[in-house]
């Protein structure tokens, strides 16, 4: 082991030991670490040890460390920007309001300076962004406006505390943040793309219809190869030893799953560790509840197809199907009911079926009868050309019998008369169970 590596190891070990010491020993260790910030050989190790020791600091030591930070950002007295950036990341939450204001003034002035400072300053401001007021955030966005690396700087500024910061931004600023992360989805670095996807998840509740559509487009239309890389990267993260990391990626999959292919969806489900399956479903439900009011017809169809796929694997999503039942077209509603009836054979989904309204049952019945009559009139019962088309099979005998059985159990009071002039009259007659006979007679 060379002397530099030995010094680094000793510095970090001293930091661990010093936390358990008191009085003069802590003071001596603190002095050693602050002096070491000027030594490039052990600079990084001294930063780590100072952060470790920070829980033992008194006000005087906090003030001394803060001055080291400022000197580093100004590259004076032997301190440098890189050390200050790393140190700030570890102690940002310990700074008081006066120190935050002084630090902000220092960084905003640097941000207005040479181009090489832009990203570093934006990143450092991001570390204390939770403690900034709206006026300070306005000043930052004004400085970033029009910069060559504006998108990159905005991402550096926001990614650490986006959820808190977004409540202080106006619509224009939020749109710039959104655009910056959308732009990041095209980044050549896979981890940056994943980070941008996570950030878009964070602000999804604040997106308008146009922005939401751009998120869908970014995942699907912009570059399928990039989506594939993001998918593979996320899958690999389920092997991470840190359970929190796995939970985060399971939740992210819940957000983008509606944009994946059937093969990818199956890959997600197979890759999800048991502990993360609930996080996936929870995030899927959260996403569905938050954006279902904004989606268009195409997005609605993608959600529906993905939910049907996954609810075959777990009852966790059957309840989610209820959330969108009022937004489905007649054929989708029919497929949903048949799907739930199939699950009901295994004593699942009965609660969901019992809550389907009479109007929805009527829509389903009308849909299947119309399909059945149309196919008879055209004499085009299932042929080879459409044998793989699920919609074309909606009027098959098994489904109709299953529907009839479901009506007997869950809504036995609907009576359907024979078709009259292309219309169906639905009459509610309490105490009569005739739907099974009527439907089977039509077959």
Residue pLDDT, tens place only, 173-215:
888 888 888 777 666 666 676 677 667 666 665 656 565 555 5
Tell whether 200 is covered by a domain: yes
Tell whether 73 is covered by a domain: no
**Residues of the domain holding 351:** 329-381+389-443
The proportion of the chain whose per-residue pLDDT surpasses 70, expressed as a percent, equals 52
Whether 5 shows a pLDDT value over 80: the answer reads: yes
Whether 225 shows a pLDDT value over 80: the answer reads: no
Torsion sign over Cα 110, 114, 115, 117: negative
Ranges 143-147, 194-198, 246-250: which has the least confidence: 246-250
Torsion sign over Cα 152, 157, 160, 165: negative
Residue 382 binned pLDDT confidence (cut-offs 50, 70, 90): very low
Say what the pLDDT of residue 366 is.
78
Whether residues 298 and 341 share a domain: the answer is no
Ranges 297-306, 405-414, 417-426: which has the least confidence: 417-426
Whether residues 289 and 215 share a domain: the answer is yes
Helices assigned H by DSSP within 203-356: 209-220, 224-237, 243-256, 262-271, 274-291, 297-311, 318-323, 330-344, 350-354
Whether residues 229 and 311 share a domain: the answer is yes
Between 80 and 350, the higher pLDDT residue: 80
Between 205 and 436, the higher pLDDT residue: 205
Q: Are 287 and 204 in contact (CB under 8 A)?
A: yes
Say how many domains are in the chain. Answer: 2
pTM greater than 0.75: no
Whether 439 shows a pLDDT value over 50: the answer reads: no
DSSP string computed for 310-330: HHTT-GGGHHHHHHTGGG--H
Mean pLDDT of 71-79: 93
Tell whether 399 is covered by a domain: yes
Encode pLDDT of 304-361 as tens digits.
776 676 566 555 555 666 666 666 788 888 887 887 787 776 655 566 677 677 777 8
Whether 272 shows a pLDDT value over 60: the answer reads: no
Whether residues 249 and 356 share a domain: the answer is no
Packing angle, helices 435-442 and 397-410, rounded to 10 = 170
Q: Are 68 and 35 in contact (CB under 8 A)?
A: no
Residue 61 binned pLDDT confidence (cut-offs 50, 70, 90): very high
Whether residues 399 and 303 share a domain: the answer is no
Tell whether 175 is covered by a domain: no
Distance CA 46, CA 75 (A): 17
Mean pLDDT of 437-442: 44
- Find tokens 């002397």 and name the residue: 3
Whether 94 shows a pLDDT value over 50: the answer reads: yes
Radius of gyration of the chain (CA): 30
Tell whether 201 is covered by a domain: yes
Whether residues 264 and 334 share a domain: the answer is no
Helix (H), strand (E) at residue 160:
none
Beta bridge pairs of residue 207 = none
Say what the pLDDT of residue 414 is.
62
Of 291, 306, 327, which closes a domain?
A: 327
Ranges 91-95, 238-242, 347-351: which has the least confidence: 238-242
Whether 131 shows a pLDDT value over 70: the answer reads: yes
Q: Which residues contact 153 (CB under 8 A, 6 or more apart)?
A: 118, 119, 122, 144, 147
Of 295, 312, 327, which closes a domain?
A: 327
Whether residues 314 and 442 share a domain: the answer is no
Q: Are 413 and 432 in contact (CB under 8 A)?
A: yes
Mean of the per-residue pLDDT values for the chain?
72
Picking from 371, 356, 372, the residue whose alpha carbon sits closest to that of residue 406 is 356
Whether residues 367 and 258 share a domain: the answer is no
Compute the C-alpha angle 111/115/116, nearest 5°.
95
Of 306, 327, 348, which closes a domain?
A: 327
Tell whether 44 is covered by a domain: no
Whether residues 334 and 284 share a domain: the answer is no
Picking from 185, 160, 163, the residue whose alpha carbon sits closest to that of residue 174 is 163
Whether residues 290 and 401 share a domain: the answer is no
Whether 12 shows a pLDDT value over 50: the answer reads: yes
Tell whether 333 is covered by a domain: yes
Token pair listed for 371: 């399909």
Say what the pLDDT of residue 222 is.
39
Distance CA 145, CA 258 (A): 34
Whether residues 248 and 342 share a domain: the answer is no
Token pair listed for 34: 């602050």
Q: How far is CA 443 from CA 372, 390, 406, in A?
A: 8, 19, 17
Tell whether 220 is covered by a domain: yes
Other beta carbons within 10 angstroms of residue 391's beta carbon come to 11
Torsion sign over Cα 334, 336, 342, 346: negative
Q: Is 208 left (phi over 0), alpha (psi -120 to 50) or beta?
A: beta
The proportion of the chain whose per-residue pLDDT surpasses 90, expressed as a percent, equals 27
Say what the pLDDT of residue 223 is.
46
Q: How far is CA 82 from CA 158, 224, 333, 352, 432, in A?
A: 19, 37, 58, 57, 80
Say what the pLDDT of residue 254 is.
58
Whether 120 shows a pLDDT value over 80: the answer reads: yes
Residue 117 binned pLDDT confidence (cut-offs 50, 70, 90): confident
- Find tokens 């793989």 and name the residue: 388
Other beta carbons within 10 angstroms of residue 226's beta carbon come to 17
Whether residues 220 and 278 share a domain: the answer is yes
């Amino acid at each position: 082991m060379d002397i530099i590596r030995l010094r680094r190891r000793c510095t970090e070990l001293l930091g661990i030991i010093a936390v358990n010491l008191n009085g003069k020993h802590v003071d001596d260790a603190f002095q050693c670490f602050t002096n070491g910030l000027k030594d490039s050989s052990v600079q990084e190790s001294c930063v780590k040890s100072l952060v470790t020791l920070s829980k033992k600091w008194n006000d005087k030591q906090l003030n001394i460390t803060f001055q080291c930070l400022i000197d580093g950002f100004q590259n004076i007295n032997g301190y440098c920007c890189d050390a200050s950036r790393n140190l700030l990341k570890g102690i940002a939450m310990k700074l008081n309001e006066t120190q935050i204001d002084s630090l902000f003034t220092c960084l905003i002035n640097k941000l207005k300076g040479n181009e090489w400072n832009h990203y570093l300053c934006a990143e450092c401001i991001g570390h204390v962004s939770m403690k900034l007021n709206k006026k300070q955030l306005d000043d930052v966005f004004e400085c970033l406006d029009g910069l060559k690396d504006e998108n990159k700087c905005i991402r550096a500024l926001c990614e650490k505390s986006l959820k808190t910061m977004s409540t202080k931004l106006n619509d224009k600023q939020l749109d710039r943040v959104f655009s910056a992360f959308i732009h990041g989805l095209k980044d050549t670095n896979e981890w940056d793309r994943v980070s941008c996807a996570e950030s878009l998840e964070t602000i999804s509740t604040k997106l308008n219809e146009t922005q939401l559509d751009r998120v869908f487009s970014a995942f699907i239309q912009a570059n399928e190869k990039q989506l594939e890389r993001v998918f593979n990267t996320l899958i690999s993260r389920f092997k991470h030893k840190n359970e929190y990391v796995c939970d985060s990626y399971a939740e992210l999959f819940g957000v983008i799953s509606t944009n994946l292919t059937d093969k990818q969806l199956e890959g997600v489900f197979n890759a999800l560790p048991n502990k993360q399956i609930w996080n996936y479903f929870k995030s899927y439900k959260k996403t569905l509840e938050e954006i279902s009011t904004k989606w268009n017809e195409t997005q609605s169809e993608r959600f529906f197809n993905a939910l049907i796929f996954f609810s075959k694997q777990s009852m966790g999503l059957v309840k989610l199907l209820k959330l969108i039942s009022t937004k489905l077209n007649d054929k989708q509603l029919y497929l949903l009911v048949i799907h739930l009836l199939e699950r009901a054979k295994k004593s699942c989904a009965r609660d969901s079926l019992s809550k389907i309204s009479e109007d929805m049952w009527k829509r389903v019945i009308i849909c299947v009868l119309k399909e059945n009559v149309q196919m008879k009139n055209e004499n085009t019962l299932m042929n080879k050309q459409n044998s793989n088309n699920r919609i074309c099979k909606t009027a098959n005998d098994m489904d109709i019998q299953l529907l009839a059985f479901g009506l007997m159990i869950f809504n036995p009071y609907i009576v359907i008369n024979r078709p009259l002039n292309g219309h169906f009259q639905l009459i509610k007659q309490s105490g009569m169970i005739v739907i099974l006979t009527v439907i089977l007679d039509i077959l």
